[in-house]
A = this chain, B = another copy of it.
Amino acid sequence: MAKLQKSKDKREALVKATICLVNNDGFHAAPMSKIAKMANISPATIYLFFEGKQDLVNQVYIEVKASFSDYAFETFTDDMDVEAGFELIWKRIAHFKLKEREEAMFLAQCDNTPMIDEPSRKEGIKHLQPLLDLWHRGKEEGVLKPVSDYLLYAYSINPLSFLMLAQHRGECVITEKTIIEAYQAAWDSIKL
């Protein structure tokens, strides 16, 4: 049990290190040796947990995406009305991005880069289903614009990633007020 714990700790450290290095230097400047050093383990040990670098990144992506989705939908139930449900989910997402900046940044980079392979990307997206269902209902009820989910996502969810990145580069600061304004913009863009 203690051993198993230690093993989990190592894996956890690896995941953290990967996120941190990829965020700051990009995939191409995050060598395995650096990741290992930052996680305080030997490079060779990485291969006990992951098949290789691609697998490491893929798995980190999937896990972070899952943790992101879990957070986003934790308080949501599908009996909520569409606007309330959307606001709830949106705010949870925004909160996650503020609270878990490192993980959010990592996802943003993964989503705009050929860094993750297709199967893993698909796997990561699956968790968004509750939101898609909600949107489906919203369109049926005439609350949301009758446009594709990609469009809804592009306008109501994805902009948060852009704001995150800008903040990370020190170009702007995201405050509580920003969040309120952003939600308004998000909702305005998709509501009918």
Interface string of A111-131 (1 = CB under 8 A from B): 111110010010000000000
Determine whether the beta carbon of A154 is less than 8 Å from that of B162.
Answer: yes
Complex CA gap A125/B159 in Å reads 18
Q: Verify if A132 is at the interface (C-beta below 8 Å from B).
A: no
Q: A155-B189, A185-B155, A186-B155 are in contact. Are A24 and B162 (CB under 8 A)?
A: no
Which B residues are CB-close (under 8 A) to A190?
185
Residues on B with beta carbons closer than 8 Å to the beta carbon of A112: 108-109, 111-113, 161, 165
Chain B CB within 8 A of A96 CB:
no
Interfacial chain B residues near A178, Cβ < 8 Å: 147-148, 151
A111: which B residues are within 8 A, CB to CB?
112, 165
Beyond the given pairs A150-B162, A159-B159, 18 more chain A to chain B contacts, judged by CB atoms under 8 angstroms and listed by A's residue number, are A27-B28, A111-B112, A112-B161, A112-B165, A145-B185, A147-B181, A147-B185, A150-B171, A151-B178, A151-B181, A151-B182, A154-B160, A154-B166, A155-B182, A155-B189, A158-B158, A158-B159, A185-B190
